[in-house]
Structure 1
Amino acid sequence: MKKIALIGSYYPRKCGIATFTYDLYNALQKEENDCQVIALNDGNEYDYPPEVKWEIKQQNLEDYLKAAKYLNQSGVELVCIQHEFGIFGGKDGQYLLELIKRLKLPVVTTFHTILDTLTSIAWRTPPEHYEPCSRYPSFMGRLHPFVAMTNQTFSRIAYGFEFCITTKNT
């Protein structure tokens, strides 16, 4: 049994990532894992189920920093991020990077989409965070394994990175 924290939008928010995170939570629980959710909140009020242990307001950097501290002290063994460009706060999702930089835990990220081009902030992360991969350095160098939802997405980010998984349906 693993203690796993999922970060992403979450049910009852009406969003594809929320549905995916909800389904992932339920699948992991069926395998007898001890899971919790850190829900990314878009500013609306949601009546979250009990598995949501922490909420991050999308545009509030302090919430990301507090969530990292909480996760480091929570006994969680693995953090699983459901990533979609545009749902994390700061320019180009910079607030998520601040959270990741502070984590002392393994991280697995599911990239639900990958952009063809990145803006300048995505390339301004210090080199020690992106040596393993020359594309998507802000995310890839700091993360552990990742999941790409399609083979095309995988081909955009996989080279130079040791652990990659894709779905078989594409």
Structure 2
Amino acid sequence: MKFKNINKLNEGAYITRYDITYETKAGGEKVYEMISRDKNIKDQGGLLKEGADAVVLIIHDESGEKILLNREYRMAAGRWVYNFPAGLIEPGESPQESAERELWEETGLKLLHIDDWMFESYSAVGFSNEKNVCVVGTAAGTFAESTDPTEEIKAGWYTKEAVGSLLKDQHFAARTQAYCYLWSRQ
């Protein structure tokens, strides 16, 4: 594929819609629809931005026997979906600061320590250049309602057995489903 151009079609509060035109290896033209957190992509370099837009928190309890999952009403899906706590990195905020803030805002829990960071990954590479950084760590505390009145989140600790049962008939975000499947079978 050879990049030809990009056109901004619509700018929303959080995402911007673009059409990207490519020349295919057969010499044809392909117009690809995408969304981005970046409101000012003007060329192919803009698609290749540095840094993550958001954090994803893969959190275990202090015993290491339970994993933290949010059951959240997701408006785009029109239903409740299991997912890891996650959120956008605010301007001027480090990924660690974002992880601590998002965990507390969505669950009321405190991040005790970070065990690992995963390299940047794409949220939905089929239609967006949004990137995440995954944080693996441990948290503790008492659950509280989300501090954002527009979010409906029910956070909880789940054992491997409980996760295995949820995977049979509950909706998950893809990244959470994949990780939980492997974790529950260890």
TM-score in terms of structure 2 length: 0.22
Higher relative contact order (CA 8 A, sep 6+): 2
TM-score in terms of structure 1 length: 0.24
Normalized per residue, the structure richer in strand is 2
Normalized per residue, the structure richer in helix is 1
> Bigger radius of gyration, 1 or 2?
2
